Amino acid sequence: MSQKRDAAIVGIHEYPSRDVEGEISPLQIKAESAAKALSDAGLNWSDVDAIYDAGDGGGMSGLNIAEYFGLNPNVIDTTGVGGSSYEFHAAHAKRDIAAGKAKVALLTYGSTAHSNARAIGVGGRGGGSMHPAENMDAFAGMTLIANYAMVAHRHMHQYGTTSEQLAEISVATRYHAMRNPEAVRAMEDLEFLDIRETTINDVVNSRMIADPLHLLECCMISDGGGAVVIASPEVARDCRKPPVWILGSGEATKYPKNGGDITSSAAVQSAPQAFGEAGVTPGEIDIAMIYDSFSITVLTLLEDLGFCKKGEGGAWVSGGRLRFDNPNGPALNTDGGGLSSNHPGMRGIFLLIEAARQLRGESTSQVKDARLAVAHGNGGMLGSRHSAGTIILGRD
Amino acid sequence: MSDPKRPLPRADEFDTRDFWSATKNKEFKYQQCSNCETIIFYSRRHCTGCTEGNLEWKTATGRGTIYTFSVVRQSYHPFFRNQVPYAVAWIDMDEGPRILSNIVGVTDPMNDLKIGQAVTVEWEEHEDLCIPLFKPA
Ligand SMILES: [Zn+2]
C-alpha cells in the first residue's frame, strides 16, 4: 500500500497555563501559541500562507484573524464543528497543501473557559431558539453530561457494559496525567481534590452527576490553547523537528434520527476514510489520542474507530490496556487528556499536539518507538448532533 | 419575585411552529411524506427522503417507550437546579418519532424507570402551548 506524504505537522505548542485568572484573552493565547509553534518548527510568521480558524477568538474570524496575526494568507478556512474542528483543519490543510494552494498552514486555539466560569460540563440549556432542533430540545433540561450519560446508559443496556469498565478510561488518563508536570499543575490550579493516580473504585465511588456517569468520568473545565503548524514536504525537510506525516483523514457528522442507534457515532463514517487513505489498520496504531470529554466518549469512539467490535469496548479496555506501559496497547491520551490535563471546551488541537510529541519521542509518557497514531476529535454532543474528525499520523 | 420557569420553545420558529401550535389542543403532531412515506420529526417544510415530497400532518397516540434516559443530579440552570434529581429521556413514539423529554410521575427515577418501558404523554400546560412530558403508561 503506497502511503502519500503530502503534508506534515512540523511545529506544535500547548499553552502551559490552565488558569490565566482572566489576565489574557483567547486571541492572545492563540497568537502566543502560534509564535511558539512556528519557532518550534524553525519558521516565522512570514512563512504562513494558510490559516484555519474555528472562531474561538470571537467575531467573524475569517475576516479578522489574519489582521490580528498580521498575515496575508492565500487560504482562509473557518470550519467550526466544535471540539473536532482541528482534525477537520488538519485534513483541509493537507488537502490544500497537496493541491498546491499553500505551503505552511497555521492552526490555533485559545479559550478562557475556566476564567469565564463557563459551565461547559455541568450547566443546563437556555430557552427556545430559532434553530428548529434546538427549539425542540430546550424544554427538557438536558445537561451536557446527561446527553453523554444517555449514550452510556443505552450502551450498558444493549451490550452489558459496566461502570467499572468505563472507569478504566479515567484511570488510564489520570495515570498519564500524573507523569505530565503541566497536567499536575493544571489539576492544582483548578483545585482538584486528592491529586493522585486513581483506581476503578475511586471512579465508581465518586459523586454521581448524571446517571450512570460519575464525577471522575467527566472532563475538567480549564483555560488554555495551542497551535499546530502543518507544512509541505519541501518545507518540512528543512524544519527543526522531524516531520509527523498526515497519512489519512476522515470527516463526518451524525444527528438524532427516528429509530437510530445512539451507541455508535459519526466515527463509523470518518474512520474508514482515514484508515483506508493511510493504508493502516487500528491494530497497528501505537498511540490513540481520542477525545475524552467523558469516559463513554472514548469507549464509543474506540469501537467506532475499529479497535474492537461494537459493544465489546468494555471488555477490550479492561486490565489497564490503555496505559502507555501496557504492551497490548494502544496508549490512550498520554498527556492526561481532557479528563485530567486540559479541556478548555474544544480539545481537538491537543490530540494532534500530543500525537506529534509521541511520534517525535517527546511525551512525558513516551511509548517506546511509537510509529503510528490516531487523533480522533468529537465535536458537539455525542448523544445528539456531533462531528467526527479522524487523522492518522506517522513518522519517517 | 416569581419562581424561575421552565425554558419554553419559541412559537415563531419557522419549522416547528405548527408542532407547537397543535400542543395547545394537547395534540402530538408529526409529519409523513405521502410520496416516500418518510416520517419527519422534528417537523420541517421539506421532505428529507425525496425531492417530490408531500408532507401530511398526522396525530400520534401519545404512547411510546423509553429508548434511553439519565437522571440529572446537578444543574446550574435557574429552573432545573430546583428540579434535581429529574429524568431526561429519548422517547420512541409508537408511530416512529423520537423526542427528547422528561419523565415525570415517579418518586425514584433511577429505580422506577427502565429502558424499554412503556410511557404516555403528560401535557404540562403553559400560557400559549403545552409541553409534552411523559409518565409511565
Ligand atoms: Zn418524501
Domain CATH for A350: 3.40.47.10
The three three-digit cell numbers of residue A245, written as one number = 506525516
Q: Domain for residue A232, yes or no?
A: yes
Residue A322: exposure state from Cβ atoms within 10 A (0-12, 13-18, ≥19): buried
Q: Domain for residue A312, yes or no?
A: yes
Give the pLDDT of residue A3.
85
Asked if B41 reaches chain A (Cβ–Cβ under 8 Å), the answer is: yes
User: Between chains, do A139 and B13 touch, taking CB under 8 Å as contact?
Assistant: no
Q: Where are the domains of chain B?
A: 17-136
Which DSSP state fits B2? P
Q: Domain for residue A227, yes or no?
A: yes
Q: How far is CA A240 from CA A6, A9, A107, A362, B34, in A?
A: 18, 12, 18, 14, 63
Give the pLDDT of residue A128.
75
Q: Decide: A10 and A229 in contact? Cβ < 8 Å.
A: yes
Digit-coded pLDDT (tens) for A240-294? 999 999 999 999 999 999 999 999 999 999 999 999 999 999 999 999 999 999 9
Chain A residue numbers touching B79 (CB-CB < 8 A): 124, 141
Going by C-alpha positions, the residue among A112, A48, A105 that lies closest to residue A79 is: A105
Asked if A119 reaches chain B (Cβ–Cβ under 8 Å), the answer is: yes
Q: Domain for residue A305, yes or no?
A: yes
A119 pLDDT exceeds 50? no
User: Between chains, do A146 and B101 touch, taking CB under 8 Å as contact?
Assistant: no
Give the pLDDT of residue B2.
62
Give the pLDDT of residue A126.
57
In this prediction, residue A16 has a pLDDT band, given cuts at 50, 70 and 90, of very high
Pairing verdict, β A244-254 and A386-395: antiparallel
User: Between chains, do A262 and B90 touch, taking CB under 8 Å as contact?
Assistant: yes
Of A131, A138, A142, the CB nearest to B88: A142
Q: How far is CA A296 from CA A147, A217, A266, A382, in A?
A: 11, 8, 14, 9
Query: Measured between alpha carbons, how far is A267 from A249 in angstroms, rounded to an integer?
Result: 11
Give the pLDDT of residue A295.
98
Q: Calculate mean pLDDT across residues A298-312.
A: 98
Quote the number of domains for chain A.
1
Which residue is associated with the grid cell 400560557? Answer: B127
Q: Domain for residue A259, yes or no?
A: yes
Chain B residue numbers touching A157 (CB-CB < 8 A): 68, 115-116
pLDDT tens for each residue of chain B, 137 residues long: 467 899 999 999 999 999 999 999 999 999 999 999 999 999 999 999 999 999 999 999 999 999 999 999 999 899 999 999 999 999 999 999 999 999 999 999 989 999 999 999 999 999 999 999 999 99
A23 min Cα distance to partner chain B (Å): 25
User: Between chains, do A257 and B98 touch, taking CB under 8 Å as contact?
Assistant: yes
Going by C-alpha positions, the residue among A223, A198, A16 that lies closest to residue A120 is: A223
User: Between chains, do B77 and A157 touch, taking CB under 8 Å as contact?
Assistant: no
Q: Domain for residue A163, yes or no?
A: no
Strand partners, A121: none
Asked if A140 reaches chain B (Cβ–Cβ under 8 Å), the answer is: yes
Domain extent at residue A244: 8-116+221-395
Instruction: Name the residue of chain A whose CA is nearest to B13's CA.
Output: A130
Q: Calculate mean pLDDT across residues A17-31.
A: 94
